[in-house]
Amino acid sequence: MTELTVERTAIPGLLVVRLPVHGDSRGWFKEGWQREKMTALGLPDFGPVQHNISYNASRGATRGIHAEPWDKYVSVATGRVFGAWVDLRAGESFGATVTVEIDESVAVYVPRGVGNSYQALEDGTAYSYLVNAHWRPGITYPALALDDPTAAIEWPIPLAESEISAKDQANPRLAEVTPFAPRPPVILGAGGQVGRALQALLPEAVALGSADLDLTDAAAIAAYDWSQHDVVINAGAMTAVDAAETGEGRQLAWAVNATAVAALARAAVEHRFTLVHYSSDYVFDGEADAHPEGEALAPLGVYGQSKAAGDLAVTVVPRHYVLRTSWVIGDGGNFVTTMARLADTGVSPSVVDDQHGRLTFAEDLAAATVHLVRSEAPFGVYNCTNAGEQATWADIAREVFVARGRDAGDVTGVSTAEYAAGKTISPRPTHSLLPLDKLAATGFEPRDQWDALREYLRRL
């Protein structure tokens, strides 16, 4: 008996599992698939939905090399095979080859797009594999010749002495293979400030605006073909915090920020994609000086309440990232562009000076998103703003005025109560500082907000 282990290989994502086998005079027993133990050791929780067994009557039966569009977990129920895998995915590892002999003590996890093949080493071998998508007729996928000279697989039994199907004998050489393309991410709310920043970093993504997918229509969300995507980034939101306090605005805020997110969460569970969602400092009451990721939600207004409800819906998804942010500045109308316009037109505004937080530039938020997904950071909630000392809205306005050639004294600081007098506005959190330690631990360090602001103003 050996200890359960999961080993990496030269093909990214291809994992070899060493299984404990309990044997006596009667035979042997093994746990061929044990989700809890194996995922704890790094095997993806890939959600198998179909179990197939391929029986090979004679030693030398050889099958593959096929790169089907699903993940596989392969082993043997009886007998032995020589397994060979060739990476047929687009990228630097295209053409990389790994071989492993599989008996009752070995299993292999094969990510989609990696060509899978094997050769039976004993008569009566039963080859078993779990897959996370149902087989259906008409599926096309890359395949490779078993004797491809680039892969140079050293088959234990010469192919000339092996049983090979006519289909596999006709497979192309590596130079003729069209690489398996990764499934593109989806960006929802693609027309917003964050959505546009995401598109700049993810040009391969499917960008969907409200005209492409109505997030207020749960039936449309359920009907969309999510099976073609591994990552869905929800940058769609109703962000008019004051309008959310009106009757019509309240309905829209809950429809987009909560009900739609719950529908996306259901789709993510069903189709097993990673759901990325953006949260807000408004989910807190702002009483604490800073708000770590684990703080209990306590929203003050309708906008914050609807965002908090969306956050809770996303956290039921096994594969999720919630990026909690504040004071977002991107391409389009926002606080900074408004202050720049006022500075340029000679206006001397009164700006709130008792709300504290940090700016988040959309390009930095998008970069953090891509980092978390591509680095396969632990799933969960992450604070994400720009770094540096916190400030008030009046501090930021003064920085903008100085950059536009005006005097900082042209901006008058006022309290939130003074600003709100005679208006119907949403209650604001007084303190919006979001600590960045958890994000930094993944290897991402946001820019200082003042450096980012000056660069933004130079481009404005």
Cis peptide before 65 (omega within 30 of 0): yes
Helix (H, G, I), strand (E, B) or coil at 193: helix
Find tokens 């208006």 and name the residue.
Answer: 423
Helix (H, G, I), strand (E, B) or coil at 446: coil
* Residue 429 · residue 286 · CB < 8 Å: yes
Count other Cβ atoms within 10 Å, centred on residue 209.
Answer: 15
Q: Which residues of 244-261 are buried (b: 16+ CB within 10 A; e: fewer)?
A: bbeeebbebbbbbbbbbb
- The token duo for 336 is 């900074």
Of 118, 127, 129, 224, which is the active-site residue? Answer: 129
Q: What's the half-sphere exposure (Cβ side, CA atoms, 13 Å) at 333?
A: 3
* Residue 131 · residue 71 · CB < 8 Å: yes
Our answer to whether residue 320 is catalytic in this structure is no
Q: State the DSSP code for 436.
A: -
What is the Cα–Cα distance from 460 to 333, expressed in whole angstroms? 11
Of 66, 229, 277, 356, which is the active-site residue? Answer: 66
Q: What's the half-sphere exposure (Cβ side, CA atoms, 13 Å) at 421?
A: 7
Our answer to whether residue 129 is catalytic in this structure is yes
Supply angle C-alpha 110, 111, 117, rounded to 5. 40
The CA–CA distances, whole Å, from 420 to 246, 302, 423, 428 equal 16, 17, 5, 10
Which residues, listed in sequence order, are joined to residue 98 by a DSSP beta bridge? 85
* Residue 288 · residue 295 · CB < 8 Å: yes
- Rounded to the nearest 10 degrees, the angle between the axes of helix 362-374 and helix 193-201 is 50
Count other Cβ atoms within 10 Å, centred on residue 234.
Answer: 25
Q: Residue 28: exposed, middle, or buried by beta-carbon count in 10 A (0-12, 13-18, 19+)?
A: exposed
- Read off the amino acid at residue 29: F
Q: Which residues are catalytic?
A: 66, 129
